[in-house]
Amino acid sequence: MRTLTRYLGIVILSLAFLLPADCSRSPAGKYTSQKNPNDYIELRSDGTFFIKETHTYGGAVQKTGKYRVEGKTMTLELGSSDAARGTIDGDTLIDPAGDKWIRK
């Protein structure tokens, strides 16, 4: 009986290491735009975000708000009724325009 218990313990621990790391991985982190490396989105572990984007005419936009992730869909809540939706796949965010942001 003791051998069986020890064997089951080893099997359970082994399976825990085989599970994909992204199963419970938080999306929190800094994602840099592939299009413009100076632009980034920081997703914080408390469910808030900060985004900095530079426009072609030279002006920069900075926004904050809340985000939520449901499956592979991420929603950035920018104001009372304004929201942007994109997808998240591992370390890559894809915004509504199709641009990719990579976690660094």
Identify the pLDDT of residue 60.
86
Give domain status of residue 90, yes or no. Answer: yes
Give domain status of residue 13, yes or no. Answer: no
5 has pLDDT over 60 = no
Give domain status of residue 4, yes or no. Answer: no
Task: Assign residue 43 the CATH number of its domain.
Answer: 2.40.128.290
Give domain status of residue 16, yes or no. Answer: no
Give domain status of residue 19, yes or no. Answer: no
Give domain status of residue 9, yes or no. Answer: no
Identify the pLDDT of residue 34.
95
Q: What is the pTM of this model?
A: 0.72
Per-residue pLDDT tens over the stretch 15-53: 333 333 444 578 999 999 999 999 999 999 999 999 999
Q: What residue numbers bound the domain in which 77 lies?
A: 25-103
CA-to-CA dists, residue 46 to 1, 28, 34, 66, 91, angstroms: 46, 9, 25, 9, 18
Give domain status of residue 15, yes or no. Answer: no
